[in-house]
Amino acid sequence: MDRSVYIINVSTGTLFPIPKQCVTMYG
């Protein structure tokens, strides 16, 4: 689970996990 980062979707107010490698694409 350490390899996943939870990003919050402000529009829906939900959390979804993404691979840590993709974090740079989200911010």
pLDDT per residue as tens digits for the range 1-27? 456 677 777 788 787 777 766 555 555
pLDDT reported for residue 11: 80
pLDDT reported for residue 20: 66
Handedness of CA 7, 17, 19, 9 (dihedral sign): negative
pLDDT reported for residue 1: 45
pLDDT reported for residue 15: 77
Question: How many angstroms from the chain centroid is the CA of residue 25?
Answer: 10
Burial of residue 12 (CB within 10 Å: 0-12, 13-18, 19+) is exposed
> Which DSSP state fits 27?
-
Name the strand (E) or helix (H) holding 25: helix 23-26
